[in-house]
């Protein structure tokens, strides 16, 4: 069975300010680096075969921090696990969006990448991993919106549509369509084990 561990990147200044990042290349802030270090400490005793990262700075930096504790695990960039482009709203807060486009801005065409496009590239990536890395454990460092959509698609269950926290870990048996860990941030509280699902 192929196991995928989805990790959301560490916090950025825009996360803290409530700004939509999408395809904007925003770096980790100090808190994001520290949280990634805590996750790295948690993961260094676990077995992972490869780390695949989004090419965006906030994900790459997170992946590099994790890889520093896993000296025999290579890091591979894959554009298919990047965040969804958020079009015209990137860099804005909810308050700014309401001020600029009105309270019904979600009903306007904001030039987002479509949900179907995100899922299509994500599933192409997953199917390739099943074929190329059968029975391997793959750590994917990506982004909140992308991870949320992939969890729901892989498990075929909308009940898993939870908010994905920075540096959280979700572990999925891809072929078995089961989730053993969902959005776990136990490392931020000093723990190492999250609740099973």
- Positions annotated as catalytic residues are 9, 83
Listed residue (80, 142, 23, 188) closest to 172, CA to CA: 142
Annotated binding site for substrate: 8-15, 58
Binding residues: 8-15, 58
What is the DSSP annotation of 119-183?
HHHHHHHHHHHHHHSTT-EEEEEE-HHHHHHHHHHHHT-GGG-PPPPTT-EEEEETTTTEEEEEE
**CA-angle at 171, arms to 168 and 175, nearest 5°:** 150
Q: Are 1 and 174 in contact (CB under 8 A)?
A: yes
């Amino acid at each position: 069975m192929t196991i995928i561990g989805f990790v959301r990147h560490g916090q950025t200044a825009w996360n803290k300010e409530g700004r939509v990042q999408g395809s904007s290349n925003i770096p980790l802030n100090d808190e994001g680096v520290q949280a990634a270090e805590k996750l790295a400490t948690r993961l260094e005793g676990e077995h992972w075969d490869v780390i695949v990262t989004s090419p965006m700075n906030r994900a790459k930096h997170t992946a590099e921090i994790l890889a520093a504790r896993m000296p025999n695990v290579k890091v591979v960039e894959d554009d298919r696990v990047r965040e969804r482009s958020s079009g015209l709203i990137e860099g804005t807060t909810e308050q700014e969006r309401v001020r600029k486009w009105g309270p019904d801005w979600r009903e306007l065409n904001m030039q987002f990448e479509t949900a179907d496009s995100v899922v299509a590239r994500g599933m192409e990536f997953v199917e390739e991993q099943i074929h190329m890395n059968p029975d391997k454990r793959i750590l994917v460092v990506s982004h909140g919106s992308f991870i949320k959509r992939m969890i729901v698609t892989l498990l075929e269950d909308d009940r898993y549509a939870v908010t994905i926290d920075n540096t959280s870990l979700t572990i999925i048996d891809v072929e078995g369509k089961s989730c053993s860990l969902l959005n776990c941030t136990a490392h931020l509280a000093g723990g190492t084990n999250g609740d099973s699902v």
